[in-house]
Amino acid sequence: MGGWWRSPSEGQRVILGLRGRFGLVLAAVLVVTLAGAGALQYRQHQRGLLEILERRGAEQVRLLANRAAGVLMTNDLTQLAHYEAELAKDNDVLYAAVVDQQGRPVLEIPRRPGEALEVSRPVQAGTETLGMVRIAFSTAKVREELRRAARDLVGQGLITILILLATVYGAFARLTIAPIRRVATATQRLAAGDLREAVPVERQDEMGRLAAAFNQMVASLRALVGEVQRAGLQVSSASAEILAASEQHA
């Protein structure tokens, strides 16, 4: 293979591994956190929509029960004709019925297919119960609104994850990876024999202490190498003196 490819050094592999692990952990934390927050917001939205549907249904059932009280007392079914026509035209009403005390229907809209929320209310005249009103309201619009909300939450969550990941990851790289890279580069040069290498100490945190410890290690190595060199010179000088003395006695 050509010389254009160079495998990453040990220091680079350590940095890449650290960055990769941090990125994975950060992404996992963000996904779990935002998924939990999104699920909570979704449930709250669902509960709110169902409460609106229930209130609307309760009001419509109350109006029909008030009208049905007079009908059941007088047995004049024509008074419900208008309500029956309106309920039949309402696509949100999947079923409606007004029954008397014996359970016989005096108004009934045949059940239509679909998931529904049923609301009922007794028909009363004073303390006497004359019958019952039941209306089943379609939840199709609620489900459609929840699907739209879920799509919005997923989209917003992905955008939020990307922004937070880029921001935190960039800060981590600037505050942690860059100092480690400087120390790794200096270590490689030191291993190659360059004892002049030093890392600037710019902070007083763990990264600063790491740089200071590296500089102290380099200084100790320089001192040790200097002592070894001086000892070598002394040994060479002593050897030369011994050799000269031997030649004089010879």
Q: What is the pLDDT of residues 198-222, one digit of tens each?
A: 777 777 777 777 778 877 887 887 7
pTM beyond 0.85, yes or no: no
96 and 60 in contact (C-beta within 8 Å)? no
Sheet arrangement for strand 105-109: 105-109, 93-100, 128-138, 116-125
Please name the residue ranges forming H helices in 107-205. Answer: 140-172, 178-191
Q: Which percentage of the chain shows pLDDT scores above 90?
A: 13
pLDDT surpasses 50 at 6: no
Q: Band the pLDDT of 244: cuts 50, 70, 90.
A: low
- Decide if pLDDT at 122 tops 90: yes
Give 130's DSSP letter. Answer: E
Residue 134 has pLDDT above 90, yes or no: yes
> 2 falls in which pLDDT band (50, 70, 90)?
very low
Q: CB of 30 within 8 A of CB of 161? A: yes
CA atoms within 13 A on the CB side of 89: 6
* DSSP H or E segment with residue 97: strand 93-100
Q: What is the mean pLDDT of the chain?
A: 80
- Tell me the per-residue pLDDT of 36-57, one tens digit each, with 9 for 90 and over: 888 888 889 889 998 998 998 8
Distance CA 75, CA 77 (A): 6
* pLDDT score, position 118: 92
Q: Which two tokens stand for residue 9?
A: 């050094």
What pLDDT digit, counting tens, does each position of 12-33 carry? 555 556 677 777 888 888 888 8
- State CA 248 to chain mean position distance: 88
pLDDT value of position 144: 92
Q: Give me the mean pLDDT over the 170-189 stretch.
A: 77
The tokens for 30 are 């963000």
pLDDT at res. 5? 43
Tokens coding 74: 């007088």
Do the Cβ atoms of 100 and 70 come closer than 8 Å? no
Question: Which position has the higher pLDDT, 114 or 231?
Answer: 114
